[in-house]
């Protein structure tokens, strides 16, 4: 069955060379794919409490073949960068098989993974062998007790996982730390030093208010507040921040060995350079993290849709991408936690 009667018909007339351009002349070349909404951690800022957390049934989650088909169409539309995320992507069985499929798609030149690294010790080499280019690791504390209290997991396998990724050549490694006032904001310097020792780049992310996440009012701290601190100024060169085609802005370290990144979704939105689309584990295509509008590619595929139908969903998504994402917390909206959307 094809989807000739669908309202997506209009998009099928857009010529192929158009690529994925939104209404604000942003070219969308980056697809973040959540492969599962399950996680082996329960970070306080990300996952709702266990009683409120309801994982999707396996039947509702996209298969590797469905993801591969979607990425083939996306690559044809000019997507060249793919990041696999979750939930925790490494709890999805046989993930290296998916990596192998995606790495062989012509046009995908950057294939990355976001992980909490607990299982990287086991999978780093297999992922590298399958064609993964690099990883980002969440690391919110270097204090084992604090780490356990914040994430429900153990620090030691995470550190071993980072080392395994380094050994397997999954570099450059980026470490991501969510800044939380009164929880880990006293570890900024330790984390910068750790990253520097690991030849990794650390990025500090401002806490976003997510549905059922932690008390944002209480724990939010801006990057600007962090940069006012004397000990931070002693180690970070405060020259104007550099930015590439990413959400992060960077400052060099004073000792000349590397840089530190800042992702400021709350205090300095980076929407003007946004080139992203997101595919949720259950197949929803979203054009903006805090915007709940999405269309189900899983339904399109499982109702017998053609590649043209998939392409039409991408084009529609680009068209409805908002100019600016609104992160302001509104408890009445349907905004979902990162574990559901895919971080
Ligand atoms: N499990 C993987 C990991 O740990 O990187 C991938 C998923 S995780 C949801 C992806 C990213 O989302 C992490 O870097 C995490 O720190 C970030 N994140 C989740 N909730 C957040 C929030 N409320 N504010 C800021 N960042 C958040």
Find the CATH number of the domain harbouring 45. 3.20.20.70
What are φ and ψ of residue 112, in 5° steps?
-125, 165
Considering the domain boundaries, does residue 2 fall inside one?
A: no
What one-character DSSP code corresponds to residue 91? Answer: G
Q: How far, in Å, CA of 308 to CA of 297, rounded?
A: 12
Q: How far, in Å, CA of 262 to CA of 204, rounded?
A: 5
pLDDT below 50 — which residues of the chain?
1-5, 331-334
Range of the domain at 35: 8-341
Q: Is 195 in the pocket of ligand 1 (CB under 6 A)?
A: no
pLDDT of res. 317: 94
Contacts of 122 (CB under 8 A, 6+ apart): none
Q: How far, in Å, CA of 38 to CA of 88, rounded?
A: 6
Contacts of 200 (CB under 8 A, 6+ apart): 162, 166, 172, 173, 174, 175
Q: Is 28 helix (H, G, I), strand (E, B) or coil?
A: coil
CA atoms within 13 A on the CB side of 17: 0
pLDDT of res. 273: 87
Distance from the CA of 180 to the center of ligand 1, in angstroms? 13
Q: Is 207 in the pocket of ligand 1 (CB under 6 A)?
A: yes
Considering the domain boundaries, does residue 33 fall inside one?
A: yes
Q: Is 85 in the pocket of ligand 1 (CB under 6 A)?
A: yes
Considering the domain boundaries, does residue 30 fall inside one?
A: yes
155-161-163-165 Cα dihedral, nearest 10 degrees: -150
Counting from 1 in the atom list of ligand 1, the atom nearest the Cα of 207 is 24
Considering the domain boundaries, does residue 215 fall inside one?
A: yes
Into how many domains does the chain fold? 1
- Report the chain's C-alpha Rg in angstroms: 20
Closest residue by Cα to atom 4, ligand 1, is 116
Q: How far, in Å, CA of 294 to CA of 168, rounded?
A: 36
Is the Cα dihedral 204, 161, 80, 65 positive or negative? negative
pLDDT of res. 101: 98
Q: Is 115 in the pocket of ligand 1 (CB under 6 A)?
A: yes
Considering the domain boundaries, does residue 246 fall inside one?
A: yes
Distance from the CA of 116 to the center of ligand 1, in angstroms? 9
Counting from 1 in the atom list of ligand 1, the atom nearest the Cα of 116 is 4
Considering the domain boundaries, does residue 210 fall inside one?
A: yes
Distance from the CA of 257 to the center of ligand 1, in angstroms? 26
**What are the tokens at 55?**
């994982």
Global pTM?
A: 0.92
Considering the domain boundaries, does residue 1 fall inside one?
A: no
Q: Ligand 1 pocket: which of 138, 141, 265 to mutate (most atoms <8 Å of CB)?
A: 138
Q: Is 86 in the pocket of ligand 1 (CB under 6 A)?
A: yes
Considering the domain boundaries, does residue 221 fall inside one?
A: yes
- Asked if 251 and 236 touch (Cβ cutoff 8 Å), the reply is yes
């Amino acid at each position: 069955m094809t989807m000739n009667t669908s309202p997506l018909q209009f998009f099928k007339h857009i010529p192929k060379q158009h690529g994925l351009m939104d209404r604000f002349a942003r070219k969308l070349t980056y697809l973040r794919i959540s492969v599962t909404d399950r996680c082996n951690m329960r970070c306080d800022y990300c996952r709702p409490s266990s009683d409120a957390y309801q994982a999707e049934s396996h039947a509702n989650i996209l298969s590797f073949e469905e993801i591969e088909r979607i990425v083939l169409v996306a690559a044809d539309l000019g997507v060249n960068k793919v990041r696999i995320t979750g939930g925790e992507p490494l709890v999805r069985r046989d993930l290296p098989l998916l990596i192998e499929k995606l790495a062989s798609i012509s046009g995908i030149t950057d294939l990355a993974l976001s992980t909490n690294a607990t299982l990287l010790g086991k999978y780093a080499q297999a992922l590298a062998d399958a064609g993964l280019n690099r990883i980002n690791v969440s690391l919110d504390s270097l204090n084992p007790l604090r780490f356990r209290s914040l994430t429900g997991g153990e620090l030691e396998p995470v550190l071993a996982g980072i080392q395994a990724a380094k050994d397997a050549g999954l570099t450059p490694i980026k470490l991501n730390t969510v800044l939380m006032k009164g929880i880990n904001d006293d570890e900024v310097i330790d984390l910068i030093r750790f990253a520097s020792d690991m030849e990794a780049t650390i990025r500090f992310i401002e806490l976003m208010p997510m549905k059922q996440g932690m008390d944002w009012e209480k724990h939010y701290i801006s990057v600007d507040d962090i940069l006012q601190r004397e000990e931070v100024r002693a180690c970070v060169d405060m020259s104007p921040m550099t930015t590439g085609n990413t959400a992060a802005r960077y400052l060099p370290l004073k000792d000349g060995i590397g840089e530190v990144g800042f992702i400021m979704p709350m205090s300095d939105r980076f929407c003007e350079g946004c080139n992203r689309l997101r595919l949720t584990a259950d197949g929803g295509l979203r054009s903006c993290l805090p915007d709940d509008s999405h269309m189900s590619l899983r339904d399109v595929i499982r109702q017998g849709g053609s590649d043209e139908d998939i392409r039409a969903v991408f084009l529609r998504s680009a068209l409805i991408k908002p100019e600016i994402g609104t992160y302001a917390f509104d408890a009445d909206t349907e905004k979902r936690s990162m574990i559901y959307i895919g971080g």
